[in-house]
Amino acid sequence: MTTPLSILDLAPIAPGQTVRESFAASVALAQTAEKHGYQRVWYAEHHNMPTIASSATSVLIGHVASQTSTIRLGSGGVMLPNHSPLTIAEQFGTLAELYPGRIDLGLGRAPGSDQTTARAMRRDPRASDQFPQDVMELAAYLRDESIIPGVRAVPGAGTNVPLYILGSSLFGAGLAAALGLPYAFASHFAPDSLFEAVATYRRDFRPSAQLAEPYLMVAANVIAADDGADATQQFEIMRRSRVRSMIARGPASPEYSDDQIDAFLTTTEGRRLADMMRYTAVGTPADVRTFLEELTTATQADELILAHASQQIGDRLRSVELTAGAMVGVPA
């Protein structure tokens, strides 16, 4: 067997690109992933971010599902405290009825936005505290065992859409273990607690109706190219873009040049932000394979979920193809 590979797609909006073009790129990415044997593609809920178009996650999943045929599609994740569990059960129940056997529901408790945007979404600041209870309420709707008398998710009831807990801390690991759900760790941008969270999840896991044994997904960024120098250049463009988006918030923020970003990356704070991309495989297919093999061995991951991070869609599609070819035959 080989280690299953999946994709996290943020539906990025590249410089000079429209939202419509971003969605077309997401379709092309999923079609390429399907062709090359990837397990699933997930889309992350973010809000008020000018470079990310996946805010209406369930709508985007439906759009891509209509133009693919076999690959699983889902959220990586829906930020459940932004929504009522019933609403999400109905949305993903609808997707499951339209595309049976192909829909996943990954759940997170972060806002997917800044505090100002969270207020604009009418998010209760205490909503995250209810995340475990909301997950259980949502799961009950999907089983058609509502814990609120007289309330039933239609569509949704009886679809049993599989749930996944997403996280970057010990909280998510503990919750996934307690509920007996698969756990996906966001090491592609929050690497520090990876090994402690993995240990917590495996140690405390309790079987459930959905899952008999722990199932761990580990995330990494990937930039694979035919030429190593080209991959490195793509990585530098991606790193500058991410750091720029982290330090330049709001319409009044200054425009930072590449030279200014490079200078910032030499500072203590710049190095800290760059370290958030610690788990990034960059280079030729052989380089990427070595990195991902080592990550799989170190974490004992059951599946890798990869964010192909090149800015241009042509480069992302090539990275998807090269990585799949490189990982064929790698033991699970």
The amino acid that residue 120 corresponds to is A
Q: What is the mean pLDDT of the chain?
A: 93
Instruction: For 284-294, write each residue's pLDDT tens digit.
Output: 999 999 999 99
Query: What are 75's two structure tokens?
Result: 């959220």
Assign 3-class secondary structure to 13-28.
CCCCCCHHHHHHHHHH
Beta strands 103-108; 183-185: pairing state? unpaired
Beta strands 183-185; 216-224: pairing state? parallel
Instruction: For 68-123, write each residue's pLDDT tens digit.
Output: 999 999 999 999 999 999 999 999 999 999 999 999 999 999 866 677 777 777 66
pTM reported for the whole predicted model: 0.94
* 265, pLDDT greater than 70: yes
N-terminal to C-terminal alpha carbon distance within the chain: 6
329: pLDDT confidence band, cut at 50, 70 and 90? low
Assign 3-class secondary structure to 71-122.
CEEEEEEEEHHHCCHHHHHHHHHHHHHHCCCCEEEEEECCCCCCHHHHHHCC
Share of the chain above pLDDT 70, in %: 95
Do the Cβ atoms of 67 and 28 come closer than 8 Å? Answer: no
Instruction: For 19-57, write each residue's pLDDT tens digit.
Output: 999 999 999 999 999 999 999 999 999 988 888 999 999
